[in-house]
Amino acid sequence: MIIKKNFLTLLVLILFSTNSFSAGTESTSKVKSDYDKAVTIIKAAKKYEKAQTLLIKSNKKKPLQADTLNYLGFTTRKLGDYENGEKYYLLGLEINPNHVGINEYLGELYVATNKLDLAKERLKILERCNCEEYNELKEIIEGTKKSKY
């Protein structure tokens, strides 16, 4: 009888402790990171200053992420600061030299600043990616297309 009572007590304790540990781990709302918020703002509203502020916060929390540096370069370039935009892109390429987005956007920056030889270097890197970014940059360099950004 005592063993049965102890077993039931133990079973009840285990059941209650399991519920208390799982409480709070389940969430109905997903919290977006600063990076995710920035990307959404860039794509939906093109509010580059606000996006840049979020990306700087994201970069402080998780430094040296190629994707974050890509969008930092992008927003900086879109705000007219080509010099610092280029620095963000180049830093991102140190982390991931074949980053498709960085190579395309850096190529666009070079076209905008009349550095076509450097833009063609970015295109050469994208040549093997079999991606739309290659075609986009190629057409921008050739002057048959304007950058969609």
Task: For Cα atoms 54, 110, 142, give the angle at the middle one, nearest 5 degrees.
Answer: 125
On whether residue 129 sits in a domain, the answer given is: yes
On whether residue 66 sits in a domain, the answer given is: yes
Query: What is the maximum span of the chain, computed from C-alpha positions, in angstroms?
Result: 89
Q: How many CB atoms lie within 10 A of CB 118?
A: 16
On whether residue 100 sits in a domain, the answer given is: yes
Range of the domain at 99: 32-142
On whether residue 103 sits in a domain, the answer given is: yes
Which H, E and C letters describe 79-114, residue by residue? CCCHHHHHHHHHHHHHHCCCCHHHHHHHHHHHHHCC
% of the chain with per-residue pLDDT over 70: 79
On whether residue 26 sits in a domain, the answer given is: no
The pair of three-digit structure tokens given for residue 68, joined into one six-digit string: 């974050």
On whether residue 51 sits in a domain, the answer given is: yes
The pair of three-digit structure tokens given for residue 1, joined into one six-digit string: 């009888």
User: Is 148 or 87 the better-scoring residue by pLDDT?
Assistant: 87
Per-residue confidence at 134, pLDDT binned at 50, 70, 90?
very high
The rounded distance, in Å, linking the Cα atoms of 11 and 79 is: 62
Q: For 25-42, b where at least 16 C-beta lie within 10 A, e where not — what string? A: eeeeeeeeebbebbbebb
On whether residue 18 sits in a domain, the answer given is: no
Q: Coil, strand, or helix at residue 98?
A: coil
pLDDT, mean of residues 20-27: 37
pLDDT, mean of residues 44-53: 93
User: Is 132 or 22 the better-scoring residue by pLDDT?
Assistant: 132
Asked if residue 83 has pLDDT above 90, the reply is: yes
Q: Please give the tally of structural domains in the chain.
A: 1
CATH label of the domain that carries residue 118: 1.25.40.10
Per-residue pLDDT, 148: 66
On whether residue 5 sits in a domain, the answer given is: no
The pLDDT mean for the chain works out to 84
